[in-house]
Amino acid sequence: MSDLNEVRNVRIVAVAGGSGFIGRAIVRRLAAIPTMKIRVLTRDPEKARARLADTDAVEFVAADVNDAARLAAAVAGADTIVNAVQFDGYPIENPARGLTFNRVDYGGTVALIAAAKAAGVNHFIYISGAAADERSPNPAFRAKGRAERALRDSGLTYTILRPSLVYGPEDRVVNGIAKALRITPIMVVPGSGRQLMRPLLVDDLAACVALAIGGRGRNGIFEIGGRDAMSFDDLVRLVMEIIGRRRPLVHVPEALLLIAGAVAEKLPGALFSRDAVAFLVADNDCDIKPLTAEFGLALTPARDGLAYLAQPVLASRGLGVSR
């Protein structure tokens, strides 16, 4: 009888984007909870399985947020959907491949909402962004804001998390900074370097998702960042200190970056863009008080969270993000 009760108490959580940087951390955290069964929705189950080879008892299902016809079956039986999707090459859009914020972040969320309703899913958790705003001229922030609106208007029970800059042993941004500091005589910083942020350890974001599944933050929007507010320059200097590499900072004016972005947009490969410039120089600060009050989460200080950078082998593991 106890075994039957355990089966009944198991909750199926479908994680869209579960093979990406943020998604992997969420899957690992949730898979460690005995009462949860994790289903990773991914375009490439074999690649996702390889990326999560250290995680037991995870189901991998072929699904794409831009293929609405297959999503309802992919989420059938799930209690909760977590949308942590980011497209390949993020934050640089590649319209020729359909990799745009409007198509993936907004359109993908709308498709997942429809699938959730069709399958009777109870709860939808959306990993948005600190600067999300449906009125923003920036396509990334605008698409995330529109996705939030669609979720709020859906009638589903929801939790929206708006992270600042997310880092960890498998991220690209902070590991990219550390790599550049190790191999170049100077450190090039986009814009003034004064753009604000609260660097967030990806494990803290994953812990927050687990708490949301457990009932915290229902029908709320919460900004989430690390304990320490800092500028981009502050972050670079902290990384310098941790890895023991001092380099002069060279700031590239936003105007020059925009020129480079305009030129890159005319070239094949989608290597850079003016919208990517706006993304890089935007503030990502956030108010963490509502989150800490609701979730009771002890956020990791940046110095502690970035300590892995002192170990070059770990710091070189950055695998980027993908769907």
Torsion angle in degrees (nearest 10) through CA of 70, 13, 216, 230: -80
Please report whether residue 214 resides in a domain: yes
Q: Which of 89, 63, 93, 92 is nearest to 78 (CA)?
A: 63
Name the 3-class secondary structure at 215.
coil
Torsion angle in degrees (nearest 10) through CA of 189, 85, 148, 229: -30
Please report whether residue 320 resides in a domain: no
Kindly provide the b/e burial profile for residues 7-18, where b requires at least 16 CB atoms within 10 angstroms of the residue's own CB: eeeebbbbbbbb
Alpha helix positions (H), 214-253: 232-243
Q: Which of 69, 66, 68, 50 is nearest to 58 (CA)?
A: 50
C-alpha span between 23 and 17 (Å, rounded): 6
Q: Which residue has the tokens 């990799």?
A: 99
Give CA separation, 196 vs 96, 275, 277, 312, in Å.
Answer: 32, 18, 15, 27
DSSP state of 155: S
- pTM of the prediction? 0.92
- Phi first, then psi, for residue 304 (nearest 5°) are -70, -45
C-alpha span between 252 and 107 (Å, rounded): 34
C-alpha span between 216 and 52 (Å, rounded): 27
Count of residues in the chain: 323
Under 8 Å between Cβ of 41 and 73: no
Give CA separation, 128 vs 22, 157, 158, 166, in Å.
Answer: 12, 16, 12, 12
Name the 3-class secondary structure at 247.
coil
Q: Per-residue pLDDT for the chain (323 aa), expressed as one digit of tens each? A: 334 334 457 899 999 999 999 999 999 999 999 999 999 999 999 999 999 998 888 999 999 998 988 899 999 999 999 999 998 888 888 888 899 999 999 999 999 999 999 999 999 999 999 999 999 999 999 999 999 999 999 999 999 999 999 999 999 999 999 999 999 999 999 999 999 999 999 999 999 999 999 999 999 999 999 999 999 999 999 999 999 999 999 999 999 999 999 999 998 877 888 888 988 899 999 999 999 999 999 999 999 999 999 986 544 444 333 33
CATH classification of the domain holding 71: 3.40.50.720
- Counted domains in the chain: 1
C-alpha span between 319 and 142 (Å, rounded): 27
Please report whether residue 189 resides in a domain: yes
Confidence (pLDDT) at 268: 84
Please report whether residue 323 resides in a domain: no
Q: Which domain holds residue 250?
A: 2-315
Please report whether residue 321 resides in a domain: no
Q: Under the phi-then-psi rule, with left for phi > 0, alpha for psi from -120 to 50, and beta for the rest, what region is 197?
A: beta
Name the 3-class secondary structure at 38.
strand
Confidence (pLDDT) at 1: 38
Confidence (pLDDT) at 323: 34
C-alpha span between 321 and 323 (Å, rounded): 7
